[in-house]
Amino acid sequence: MAAATISIEEDQFCCSVCLEVLRDPVTIPCGHSYCLDCIEDYWNRPKQKGQYSCPQCRQVFSPRPLLSRNTVLGEVVEKFQQSGSHPQGVRCSVCTGRKSKAVKSCLACSESYCVAHLRAHEESFHGKRHKLIPASDQLRDELCPQHEKPLRLFCRTDQQYVCSQCVKERHKGHNAVSVVEERAAQQKKLQEASLKSVQKLKDTEKELRYVVRYIKHSTEAAVEEGERIFSKLIRSIEKQSGELKELLRVQERAAVSQAEELLERNQREMVELRRADAELEKLSRTEDHVHFLQRCRSLHFHAKTLEMPNTDALQYMMYKGMRGALADLTASLDETLEREFNRISDKVISLKETSNRSASEKTKAKDADIPYNSEPKTRADFLQYHNDITLDPNTANPYLSFSDGRRGVTTRLEPQPYPDHPSRFTSWAQVLCRAGMAGRCYWEVEWAGKGGVSIGICYKNMSRSGGGSDSKLGHNSKSWSLDCSYSLCSFQHNKESVMVAASCSSRIGVYLDFRGGTLSFFNVSDTMDLLHKVKTTFTQPVYAGFWVGLGSSLKLCSL
């Protein structure tokens, strides 16, 4: 009788938790088997406390089943691993019949050996340089297909792995090195490439994070400026509404005065009429006909009717005419706002597309190691980034007086009648500009006077009250300034002062690169002479700010 054969697959002896061949197998009440450690770890999880389920069929057991090694299954698994049915691992090249598991491979012999044949190999080649490595089944791939010799050399000329015989024949005279030397060279090159890639990725990540902050800051500044402009527009509309209301009230008072004058006249005539009517009634009772005729001639009854005001024309002017005019104004305003909003939207989209193209060009430039963040050099270059800034009267110290359409400011001995405002500087003679900045910006300032001036920038949340350093431009961590006088020039930031060797001219140019984190001050003439440049990281939009000493004046240049 022929012996029965059973086909067994490795998956039949795998634990469904770790997906490896069963180790110390146990069988739980539902019939499924697992590694002892795997099922215990599974049941020790917090979710299994009190109720213990099978990872496969989800049957729940309570109380927790006692686990014992399934000796029969364990022996079957052990025999399966010892048999040739288990495909994992490298097999001995020397064994005949059922091959044992190899433990080492010899690069010189291109063979793999089990423990017994490895001992024989060491006895046969004792003292010879046979390099042994962990068992590998890829040794045949490392033999020359033509000469059956180990590929121990690398031909750099042809970029091929060759044996010693190849070097003497087809690769004679080529640049050939040992695979060890080539491996070291390639490994070094890969490590350098890896380090370079890692550094490039880190630089890219740093730049992208800065781009995110830059976009947020730029948007915040734009939103703030938009709110300021629309608030101004709303105030203008409210002012026009008030003037229209006053005009209508004036017309109302004039028309009512005319009507009331006619009403008063009518009432006087009514009194006269009643007096004449009473006299007539008295004469009517007399029997003296001559007396009646003599007295009745003095009685007068007005027959003329007062001319009434033309209320239809007034009503048409005050309601229908005004309503039509306002309807036309509303339509015109809506059309203008829609047209201008579309124009602004087109500019924003155009800027976005330009930004995307610039980002693409910048990436190409970086890949080619070409600098793309070059700073402007000439005044014409700087003027491309000119920002027409305006002063904010709500921030001005009371001793500052405006001129030139609020583009100029001077410190006076007497305070100005400014209304209270939380943004106003209470002690220092300082003023800020209206809008925040978060891009590349350039502006110029002219100054004069023995009191000197300070020209700088600050964050919006810099303190405005008190005479301490927290509210003094350049003397805290939230502001930067260039102090200018006829005798000296210095840069101030966070209570630290840096003397500037050159003297300040009467016209100072300020260049801000928000994203690049640079703030530069220049003497402006035919050339741009750098006075001072600071490198930092801006964390929020900045506002141009100025301090003006007593007797000095400052003016924003319109370019």
Q: What residue segments make up the domains of the chain, in order of their start?
A: 10-83, 189-304, 379-556
> Nearest Cα to 482, choosing from 526, 434, 547, 438?
547
Q: Any idea what the Cα angle at residue 93 is, between residues 89 and 99, rounded to 5°?
A: 60
| Predicted pLDDT of residue 555 | 95
CATH H superfamily, domain 10-83: Zinc/RING finger domain, C3HC4 (zinc finger) (3.30.40.10)
pLDDT for res 450? 92
Q: What is the pLDDT along the chain (559 residues), one digit of tens a residue?
A: 444 444 455 557 778 887 677 888 999 999 999 999 888 888 888 776 777 889 888 898 888 888 888 988 888 888 877 664 444 567 787 887 666 778 888 877 777 888 888 888 888 887 677 778 777 766 666 777 787 677 889 999 999 989 888 988 889 899 999 888 998 999 999 999 999 999 989 888 888 887 788 788 778 877 887 887 888 888 888 888 888 888 878 888 888 888 888 888 888 888 888 888 888 888 888 888 888 887 787 777 766 677 777 666 566 566 666 677 777 778 788 777 777 777 776 666 665 555 555 544 444 444 333 334 578 888 999 998 898 888 999 999 999 999 988 899 999 999 999 999 999 999 999 999 988 888 889 999 999 999 999 999 999 999 999 889 999 999 999 999 999 999 899 999 998 999 999 899 999 999 999 888 999 999 998 889 999 999 999 988 899 999 999 989 999 998 7
Report how far residue 483's alpha carbon sits from residue 396's, in angstroms, rounded to the nearest whole number. Answer: 19
Sign of CA dihedral 149, 155, 158, 164: negative
- Residue 64 CA to residue 96 CA, distance in Å, equals 50
CATH of segment(s) 379-556: 2.60.120.920
Q: Tell me if 10-83 shares its fold with 379-556.
A: no
Q: At 210, list the tokens.
A: 């800065």
How far is the C-alpha of 424 from the C-alpha of 43, rounded, in Å?
Answer: 68
8 A C-beta contact, residue 74 and residue 25: yes
pLDDT at 408: 94
The count of other CB atoms within 10 Å of the CB of residue 537 is: 9
Contacts of 545 (CB under 8 A, 6+ apart): 430, 431, 432, 433, 456, 457, 458, 473, 479, 481
User: Which pair of tokens denotes residue 186?
Assistant: 């390639």
User: What was the pLDDT predicted at 504?
Assistant: 92
Question: How long is the chain?
Answer: 559
Nearest to 512 by CA among 391, 389, 385, 392: 385
Q: Please state, in angstroms and rounded to a whole number, the distance separating the CA atoms of residues 390 and 160.
A: 71
Q: Which residues pair with 553 in a beta bridge?
A: 410, 448
525: closest CA among 398, 382, 395?
Answer: 382
Burial class (CB in 10 A: 0-12, 13-18, 19+), 141: exposed
What is the value of pTM for the model shown? 0.46
Q: Which residues contact 506 (CB under 8 A, 6 or more apart)?
A: 446, 447, 448
H or E, element range at 442: strand 440-448
Residue 423's pLDDT is: 93
